[in-house]
Each structure stands twice: as structure tokens, then as C-alpha cells.
Amino acid sequence: MSTPQPKDLLFRAGGLTLERYGVPVWRRAPISRGGEEWKETFTRADGGTPVCALLGRDGLYHLVQQNALRVEYVPNVDVGDGLGPRTRATLLLEGSRINRLPQPLNFGAWALAGGAPAAVGGQADPFGGTGAWLLTDNSGAIAQNYSVVAAGLTSDGTKGMAIFLKQGTAAVTTVQVFDLTAALNRIAINVTWNGSAAPTLTIAQGVGQVWTPTPVPGAPGWWRIPFNGQGLVAANGNNFIVLPAGLVAASQGTVLAYCAQLEDGVFPSSPLPTTIFRQSDLLQVPIGWGGRDLTVLARFIRPLWADATVNLGAESPGVFDLGDAATNKVWSSSSAAARIWHWNVESGGASADAPPAIPAGAILDLTVRLKNSQTLAPFVELELSTGTLVGGAGTTQALKVFANPRMRVGGQSNGSNSIWANLLDLIVADGAFSRADMLALP
């Protein structure tokens, strides 16, 4: 097959498209007078979630509007084009959940216990604003605290949580979820402050997980504290509590806090001023495919995480499944040591290789070739889960090709199998092309 020409490209999308064409999705189409004929549709089930955050070109986090396609600049990305590591524009694919904590940004509205002084707002926050709050425990006799009751949990089980904290005068700060009905702590984590080094997280009570705190770029001292608690009961009152000076009654001190969250799901998601814990948004584009061979090149920066399998703190390998054995055949893949992974899938035939795990920091480079004999929609779904991918109507695809008229990138936010992905490049060509040809496209 010859080198793909512009006429062969049904559309392209991603950060590289943005840097080349000035728009996140480019599709071959006549230029109408005075404007553009077509653009992508993008949906994001933000619900009540106020904002999410992403990394700007300046290396700092910036807040993002609801229901907006977001552009994140990822530093030190080497896409193998000979230019070396550079900051690259990407499309942040992240789903959304609803933060079940009322007033997640307004600690002044939280309940006070033990005679805690009122939270003091107007503090410098991790995003360059003044939205943070100073929380104080000034009693040597009782562990004073600030709390808010979660509302609207949809199910029992493990709930992802996070909060931004900055060391004040307290040596240890505790964050916990107390079940008001069962009268017990579902989870309580101690945040032991270590000066300029990352704080140490330990589970003091209850059952759950903690992950490595994430520093906030450009906001020295601010850390995002991610954790979860198991066994929460939706019907009970779940009180999210911050104890500035920890559980020890005699301890006193302060801590700065910003943006608490508690969500349905194993890992905390939006609002998301961090680099991890992402679900899939849904970018949808019509492709106008003519029914011939179809080649898809997709490159994501960093692994696509599966909510149920990923080890978040260590960014250990996730699993990426490509189709079921009967529908989509994996016909080559690179070694685990490669930084750039090339995966090729061809419709029809049995799967030749078991999809390997993707190392942390890898770039996923995926080429899918669909033969015209494949006429059922959807043709291909790439799903992140511990199970296999089926060619049917799934709901958690990372990438999905319908016969006509559209292609989906991202997934539907149903709260499961969330992914974290930065879409670098996605090219769909009308015809069968080699991976090398696709990668050579400017």
C-alpha cells in the first residue's frame, strides 16, 4: 500500500493535531466560506462537579470549565520523531464523577466539633488563588475537627477520596470518614508532615488504601492526599472529617486545606487537580467511512489505567485488552522494555499475542486495521478492564469505531473501568496502511 495521502485521512485528532492545525480535531472537508464546516462533539458528564484541573504549558495546574474538551501539556514526552523530549499538547481524556461532599471548597461551611475555631478563608491555594482554608486545633484536651456529611452515594463499598493539604504547625493531620449510623471509622489516615519532603500516609483506623501524595507544581508545600475507604454504607451518614492536629487529643496545630472529595468509585476523580486517577471522556467524531479497509493509529501518553487493576501510587503497569480473540487479532507488539509501544490489531482471525502490560511512562501506539469484510458495528473496542473486550455494545471503551457515522474516543462515564489517558495522536485512514506509514505522517 502506498503512503497515505491527505485524501485518505478521514480525520485526525489529538495534541499533535492541535499543534499542527490549531484545532483538536481536523477532518478532510471543503472549507466553507468564512468558517469551518464541521467540528467535533464532546461530552463530559460533569454533573455537579465544579471544575477539573490540568497541566498548562506553563507547567502549572489550571482549572477547566465544565463539559469542555481539555488540552493538557505533558512535559518530557519523546514521541520518537527525533526531536527528543518536549512538552506536548494532548487531549486529556478523563471521565467525571460527582463529588459527594457538599461544599468541597468551602470549609467555612463545614461543621465544627470540639470547639474548633472557625476556618479562616482567603489563604493561598494550590492554583494561585486564595481559596484555601486554615484549619486549627487549639485545644490540648480534645481533637478538634471540621466535618461535612457526604450526600448521594449510589452504592455501598469502596469510595475514593482526596484532599489538598499543606503543612501548618501541626505535626500530624488526620482525615477520616466516620459512619454516623454504625458509629465507627470506615477509614482514618494520618498525614505525618515531613517538612519539604512528601508527607507520610498511614492508615490509623478502618480499612482502605493510601497512595503516594502528589505535589502540586508551582505551589510548594501543597500535596494532594489520595486514599480510599472500604465498606462505606450509602444509606448511612458518612461524615468526612479533617482533624488538623490528628487524633491525639493533646495535640494542637494548624493545617491548610483545599478541595476535598469523596466519590463513588475506587479512586478519587474530579475535581481533579492532580495527574492521576482519570476516567474517560467521550470525544465523538463522524468519519464518513466508505466501507473499505480502515486504519486507525492511536497514540496515548502514559498508560491507560483501568480502575479495577491499576496500582495508582506506583504507576505500575495496567492491562490493555484488544478485542476478543474471535474478532480482533493482535498481530504484533513490542517488547516490554520499549518506551514506545506499537500494537497492531487486524480484524478477523484469532488473537496471536496476549496483550502485555504497559510500563509506566510508556506511549501507547496503536494501529488497528479493519477489513471491509467486517461489517457489524462496532468493529473495534479497546477496553480497559481485567476482562476481555467484546465486539458488542460496551460502555467503557477507550476507543471505539462504529461502522458509520462516528468514532468514539474515550468512554462513557459509568463509574467503572475508568481510564487516565492523554491522547497524543489519533489518525483514521480510509484504506489499509502500515504502521510505519502512519507514523511517518507529518
Partner 1 sequence: MGQPCFLVENFFNRRMFPLHVGTGPNASFGDEEATGAEAFRIANARRWSGDRWMPITANVQHTLTVQCDRVRAANMVALDRGHNLAGEEILLRCSQDGGTTWETCFDVVLPTVVGAGTLDDNLGCRTEEGAWLLRFPSRAAARWQLVIPAMGVGLVPQVVGLWLGYAFAPQDGLRFPVAPDQTQLLLEETISEAGWRGRNAPGLVRTDTLNFKMGAQGLYDYELGRYHIQGLFGGGRPMWILYDDEQAHAAVLAIRPGNDTLGFARTPDWFYPQASVPWVEHEPLRP
Residues that bind partner 1 (CB under 8 A): 5-6, 18-24, 26, 28, 31, 33-36, 39-40, 51, 54, 56-58, 60, 62-65, 68-71, 89, 127-129, 441-442
Q: Which is nearer to partner 1, 70 or 302 (CB)?
A: 70
d(CA 128, CA 176): 27
Question: Of the two residues 45 and 51, which places its CB atom closer to partner 1 in the complex?
Answer: 51
Least separation, in Å, of the C-beta of 352 and partner 1?
Answer: 33
* Nearest to partner 1 of 67, 434 (CB atom): 67
Which grid coordinates belong to 103?
Answer: 461544599
* Radius of gyration of the chain from its Cα atoms, rounded to whole angstroms: 23
Question: 233: alpha, beta or left, given left = phi > 0 and alpha = psi -120 to 50?
Answer: beta
**DSSP SS3 for 166:** strand
Q: If you ran DSSP here, which 8-state letter would residue 21 be given?
A: H
Residues 6+ apart with CB under 8 A from 431: 1, 4, 8, 292, 293, 294, 295
The whole-angstrom separation of Cα 237 and Cα 231 is 13
Q: Is 132:259 a contact under the CB 8 Å cutoff?
A: no
The CB-of-2 to partner 1 minimum distance in angstroms stands at: 12
**CB 99 within 8 Å of CB 163:** no
Nearer CB in complex with partner 1: 56/359: 56
Considering the complex, state which of residue 58 and residue 156 has its C-beta at the smaller distance from partner 1: 58
Rounded to a whole number of angstroms, the minimum distance from the CB of residue 65 to partner 1 is 4
Taking the complex as a whole, the smallest distance from the CB of residue 294 to partner 1 amounts, in Å, to 20
Task: Provide the minimum distance between the beta carbon of 172 and partner 1 in the complex, in angstroms, as a whole number.
Answer: 32
Q: Which is nearer to partner 1, 378 or 431 (CB)?
A: 431
Residue 82, phi-psi category: left (phi > 0), alpha (psi -120 to 50), beta (remainder): left
Backbone angles phi, psi at 96, to 5 degrees: -145, 150
First to last CA, the chain: 18
| Closest distance to partner 1 from the beta carbon of 309 (Å) | 30
CB of 58 to partner 1, least distance (A): 6
Which residue number, 54 or 439, has a Cβ lying nearer to partner 1?
54
- What does the alpha-carbon distance between residue 52 and residue 63 come to, in Å, rounded to a whole number? 6
Residue 230 C-beta: closest distance to partner 1, Å: 34
Q: What is the DSSP string of 281-325?
A: -EEEEE----SS-EEEEEEEESPPPPTTT--TTTT--EE-EES-T
| Minimum CB distance to partner 1 smaller for 39 or for 339 | 39
